[in-house]
Structure 1
């Protein structure tokens, strides 16, 4: 007489063997890495995101060419509606800074807009950075930055 237990046990063994063969044995097999998470940070200014949890950057566009002055805008939820911004040169040095005021804060993202005068900057490539304000010495949400590479003519 044949046992009724052999079929389920055999099925379990077969499925387990298939899983091992399909998934590999866990040795030194190379695993493909996600380039978005495994890439080394670039020194290029355009590596800053345009959106974060508490701030977005709508203008200037990535790679925009500007002269004289330009409008920067986005949405933010920053302490007391303060949206600090700065322009950094190729070495990361801040060469110009200021702030915008959002239309509100605390419960959602609010629009902000400001005019940035770059007439005093030498022609070249820079990065415009807008961020949320953290006046809590690290006890609240950390400051978030968004940015775009710009070319000043």
Structure 2
């Protein structure tokens, strides 16, 4: 194609750009309502938008767990609970030592425990260490030595403290009645 001496390079460039834009617009409009992707006759005039794709394999998910109904006298778990206590069961009879376990989201993974006598006085205390903290409930477990306690009824308590001075969630605790033989 010869350039006309009357038209300058900038005028020619504007006309070429306008023609390219019109061609793209025509192709886009022609493709509306069609399942086919339009193809420009001049690939240099075609504008494309990159669509991110992933070629990473999709990992299969575990099948949904089977729901089992809790006994009628068991309260539903609190979705905002920061601590649970799975063992010992409420009313358990223990001697020597017993195992305790549950889940917690406790500052620095520290899960304090206390044993209270019938009058509410602290008679033993200690802590467990959970497997993590901050983003979810993590398992904790340990053994509690009650060999120094006199036989009788006690309350075993695990808790999540609030070291923020009231700025965080309030302290939470879970208790179980135990009988020491």
TM above 0.5, yes or no, is yes
Could you tell me which residue of structure 1 aligns to residue 124 of structure 2?
Answer: 96
Shift of 1:133: 2.1
Q: Which residue of 2 aligns with 1:139?
A: 167
In the other structure, the counterpart of 1:152 is 180
Separation in structure 2 between the aligned mates of residue 51 and residue 99 of structure 1, nearest angstrom = 23
Distance in structure 2 (CA, Å) of the matches to 1:131 and 1:50: 19
Consecutive unaligned residues of structure 2, counting only runs of 5 or more, are 1-74
- Residue of structure 1 in register with 2:148 after alignment: 120
Within 5 A, what are the aligned runs for 1:1-153?
52=78, 53-153=81-181
Counterparts of 2:161 and 2:112, CA distance in 1: 7
CA contact 1:70–1:115 (8 Å) conserved in 2: yes
1:50, distance to aligned residue in structure 2 (A): 9.9
RMSD after superposition: 1.5
Instruction: Kindly provide the CA deviation profile for residues 26-45 of structure 1, in whole angstroms up to 9, marking residues without a partner as x.
Output: xxxxxxxxxxxxxxxxxxxx
Contact 1:69 1:116 (C-alpha < 8 Å) held by counterparts? yes
* Inter-CA distance 50–98: structure 2 relative to 1 (3 Å threshold): farther
Higher Cα Rg, which structure: 2
Supply the distance in 1 between the matched residues of 2:76 and 2:100 (Cα, whole angstroms). Answer: 12
Following superposition, the deviation at residue 64 of structure 1 comes to 0.3
Q: TM-score, normalised by structure 1?
A: 0.66
Aligned equivalents of 1:93, 1:57: Cα separation in 2: 21
Could you list the per-position Cα deviations for residues 40-61 of structure 1 after superposition, in whole angstroms to 9, with x for gaps in the alignment?
xxxxxxxxx8955100000010
More strand as a share of residues? 1
CA distance in 2, matches of 1:120, 1:50: 35
Give the corresponding residue for 1:6: none
Deviations 1:57-82 (A, max 9, x none): 00010000000000111000010111
